[in-house]
Structure 1
Amino acid sequence: MIWEELDAHLDRVPGTVSAYVGRPGADATWTRFADATHYAASTMKLAVLVALHRAAEAGRLDLDAPVPVDNSFASAQPGTPRFGNARDQDNDEAVWARVGGDAPLRWLAERMIVRSSNLATNVCLGQVGLPAVAQAWALAGARHSVTGRGIEDFAARDAGIDNLVTAADLAALLGEVALGATRPGPLASPAACAAMLDVLVAQEHREDLAAGLPAGTRIAHKNGWVRGVRHGAGVVFPDDAPPYTIVVCTTTDLADGGADGEQVEDDACRLIANVSARVWAARRELAG
């Protein structure tokens, strides 16, 4: 009954609300428009994180080596000028303080997740490359999600090159990371997957999925938002039930809070928190 009630509740929400709930490695318990594409906002950083760890394991990158921190990036649209990030659209002064110097790639990857730094993301993306991110999506079994450009690459955006996600694809990626921490999987070694989970657990933006959980509940998650968009994607680790994946993607006027780098709380946050709380109440009843 809870899933019918959730669908009825979300039917009244303006715009598109997609969702995926299930245990990693098992069939979904509940989905809602799970293959509908949404603008990714900062959830694209999940695939960048996976690509970085894969490249490190393959010996193509050293996560502990310092790399230059320059606010200048090649556009994904050929023949257009380089672009940079706007400092006032970011939420991590620690990364901006390194501009003109360098920083370890592992530290930048952590800031990309825990503070959702756009600048750190583009530096990491420049190191690992878009094809490696595409491969991370593919290996997880994603069918519709695309990371086509860096953040604030407006020339590429205007040319139709975009970053898109679905609830099902985000659940597939996170589910493989969670399962990969317990046994060898397609993405990375158990040690690398466990390290990624630790970074995701340290996420500091906790105003959506995490807000619907009891205090202290372990959740490895990433969110993303711009005006009109709010997403939350995570794996929850209850003490009294097996882990479960929960993803809620919204393209809605309820997401009226600020730019991607700003920490905001709006009606879309509260909507996602409400869904998270309802799923938590049914955590022992999920399939698989």
Structure 2
Amino acid sequence: MESLRKSRRQNLPGTIALLFIAAAAAVLGFSLLTNLGTARTLPGESTWGGVPVSGLTVDEAAARVEAVFSTPLELYYLNETIQVAPQQLGFQLNTQSMVDLAKRVGQPNIWERLWNKGGAAASLELNYQVDGEMLRAYLTGEIAPRYDQPAQPPLPVPGSTNFSSGTGGWQLDIPQSVTRISSALADPANRTVELVVAGESIPAASLQNLEIFLKQTIAASGFTGVAEVYLQDPKTDELLHFAGRSGTDIPVDIAFSAASTMKIPIMVSALRRTGEPIPDGVQQLIERMIVLSENPPADTLMENVIGSTFAPLEVTADMQDRLGLQNTFLAGYFYFGAPLLQLYQTPANSRVDVNLDPDVYNQTTTSDMGALLTGIYHCAQGKPSLLTDAFPNEITPSKCSYMLDVLARNEIGVLSEAGVPDGTRVAHKHGWTEEADGFLHTISDAGVVFSPGGDFVFVVFLYDANQLLFDPADELIAKLVQVMYNYYNLLAQELWLGGPVSFPQN
């Protein structure tokens, strides 16, 4: 018995040790089971798409990332602020793929989990998509129509001869704005975007608006006869040409009585037969014919320089056969009782839709007269032109410059001259004549205006079957030319200042 007790006393320490070992194993097992069963948190300095997620479970991290990237973007269009949900901009976040990746990356081993230690810190890139088409559609359909401000060209000011100043505008630059928005959609910190807006300068006044303005000017004047207007930019060859009667458009190139505007063709025809330097006697006749608008010098010039009784027909041949101006002719001299040398039928006077009973002695159209003046202008500039092509070595730049100088000395103070600022060079020839009934029915003015904003060729013919009163017709032509001048000089427009009219010699 004594030995049994002694044996038990000897085994007691071992038993106690075993008990401690068992207890430790139990504690270890409990801890292991506890840590293995606990949801794992992400280690310090972990980020998902730039969002800090340390200490969060992957599910909590996913929720945080979704919350951050669901925050609306603030778009700034100049001074306007627009808040937009990312989903409207085509943004789609794929958090599940990030969760799956996080469970694989930085997974702690069993001992790290045993001691409740996480794995290595992980920085995951944001997994997302931006539907570019949807983003562009939003900008194109929602932002641009609402906030873009198109630039406005100068427009006619009703009741005046002036154009508005026009306004600049702005327009959303969609490609650059798409780039900025796409970057901000993936940025957790900066959720604002300054949209790229491009400024638009004031566009040039349109030729279409000029035509509308000229027609409105005719209508506002109360003129109910036939009006035909021709305008050409000799530098660009841009052309405006229309005809109307009582506010209704009619086909252009109507046959009109040319009257004294026919003296421009006579001058051209005489100079092609004259050497250089131009003799003083020829210059005197031309200047009296153009500047003083006298008829006898025109007859003398034709008889002595162009030659023979049939000189008017030579002028016609120069215009029709050499220059191709088929509707321009001179069928006799200017003196009273001069015989009609030939009866001309032209495309213009053969029309049945419009017949203004033009003078059988001299006729033209706005197109013919405009083409002739443009040819003189180009020739004076030393450029190939209608005249130099038709009359090589006979019509020269110096002769054309002389013609413009003489036309510019035709200073009468009315018609086109009354529509432009004082000092503006206007090389023109006017024309009108009393008909057999003693009334004025046709008045015209054709020339070149030299202005700071650009030179232009103009031709205006007015006709009234009953009677054309000079004062209203003069004012209308002056206003029409002033509208043209203002079109070319938008920054230095002329205001209409009507005044008393003196009746010059035709």
Is this a same-fold pair by TM over 0.5?
yes
- Please report the TM-score for the alignment, with normalisation by the length of structure 2: 0.43
Instruction: Quote the residue 1:132 is aligned against.
Output: 314
Gap change, CA 1:146 and 1:153, over 3 Å in 2 = farther
| Structure 2 CA distance for aligned equivalents of residues 280 and 224 of structure 1 | 21
Unaligned runs of 5+ in 2: 1-208, 244-251, 344-359, 388-394, 434-439, 491-506
- In the other structure, the counterpart of 1:71 is none
**SS where residue 247 of structure 1 aligns?**
strand
User: Within 2, Cα distance between the matches of 1:186 and 1:9?
Assistant: 32
Which of the two has higher C-alpha Rg?
Answer: 2
| Deviation string, structure 1 residues 154-190 (Cα, Å, up to 9, x no partner) | 4546985420011111111111001001125342110
> Where does 1:1-288 land on structure 2 (aligned, <5 Å)?
1-10=209-218, 12-24=222-234, 26-33=236-243, 34-57=252-275, 63-64=278-279, 104-127=281-304, 128=306, 129-138=311-320, 139-154=322-337, 156=339, 161-183=360-382, 184-187=384-387, 188-226=395-433, 227-241=440-454, 243-252=455-464, 255-257=468-470, 266-283=471-488
User: Whole-Å Cα distance in 2 between the matches of residues 218 and 29 of structure 1?
Assistant: 21
Uncovered stretches (5+) of structure 1, i.e. residues with no partner: 66-103, 258-265
- Per the TM alignment, residue 206 of structure 1 is displaced from its structure 2 partner at its CA by 3.3
Compute the displacement of 1:48 (Å).
0.4
How far is 1:225 from its partner?
1.0
**Pair 276,218 (structure 1): closer, same or farther in 2 beyond 3 Å:** same
Cα deviations across residues 93-133 of structure 1 (Å, max 9, x unaligned)?
xxxxxxxxxxx122011110001001111111222122431
Contact 1:130 1:148 in 2 (8 A): yes
Does the CA contact (< 8 Å) of 2:372 and 2:386 recur in 1? no
State the superposition RMSD in angstroms.
2.4
Moved more, 227-236 or 23-32: 23-32
Q: Deviations over 1:245-274 (max 9, x none)?
A: 0110111256334xxxxxxxx211111001
Give the counterpart letter for 2:274 in structure 1: A
- Using the alignment, how far apart are the partners of 1:205 and 1:272 within structure 2? 14
Q: Distance in 1 between matches of 2:342 and 2:274?
A: 32
For residue 117 of structure 1, what is the amino acid of its counterpart? E
Q: 1:13 to 1:54 in 2, by over 3 A?
A: same
* Alpha-carbon distance in structure 1 between the residues aligned to 2:485 and 2:467: 23
Deviates more, 1:123-132 or 1:230-239: 123-132
How many residues align? The count is 235
SS of match in other structure, 1:195:
helix
Distance (whole Å) between structure 2 residues aligned to residue 206 and residue 136 of structure 1: 32
Q: CA deviation at 1:197?
A: 0.8
After superposition, the Cα gap between the structure-2 partners of 1:126 and 1:275, relative to the gap in structure 1 and judged at 3 Å, is same
| Higher relative contact order structure (alpha carbons within 8 Å, sequence separation ≥ 6) | 1
Per-residue deviation, 1:283:
1.6
Aligned residue identity for 1:21: L
- Deviation at 1:284? 5.5
